[in-house]
Amino acid sequence: MTRVKRGTISMKRRRNVLKQTKGYRFGRKSKERQATEAILHAGSHAFNDRRKKKRNMRTLWQIRINAGARKNEISYSKLIGELKKADIALDRKILSQLAEKYPAVFSQIIKTAQNKVA
């Protein structure tokens, strides 16, 4: 049977790991065992933070809607309730963009919601 040298595969794996840890500090960038552990932790944090990003954006939208609603003398919770009663199906992302960039349109939406409920 012919001899098989395994060095190329393991070196390729090591190079790949160390390439991913570029910019890390101390042994995490140069020692293979510490680098693999750093990659695993970084991956789990990245996964969790992609979920947190969605949560943070929704709170930001709520804050923007509340600020726009307060200018029109209504609270956030009452505004959302009136929009649901009036069957105005705009999500929070769109409402926040309207409140931030087009306050006249946003106030018009609030008035139509209040008129349909009353």
What letter would DSSP give residue 25? -
Go through the domains of the chain in sequence order and give each one's CATH number.
Answer: 7-117 (1.10.1900.20)
**Angle between the 103-117 and 76-85 helix axes, to the nearest 10 degrees?**
60
- Digit-coded pLDDT (tens) for 12-35: 999 999 999 999 999 999 999 999
pTM: 0.78
- Digit-coded pLDDT (tens) for 77-107: 999 999 999 999 999 999 999 999 999 999 9
Please state whether 107 falls in left (phi above 0), alpha (psi between -120 and 50) or beta: alpha
b/e code 32-44 from CB counts within 10 Å (16+ = b): eeebbebbeeeee
Task: Look at residue 7 in the predicted model and tell me its pLDDT.
Answer: 86
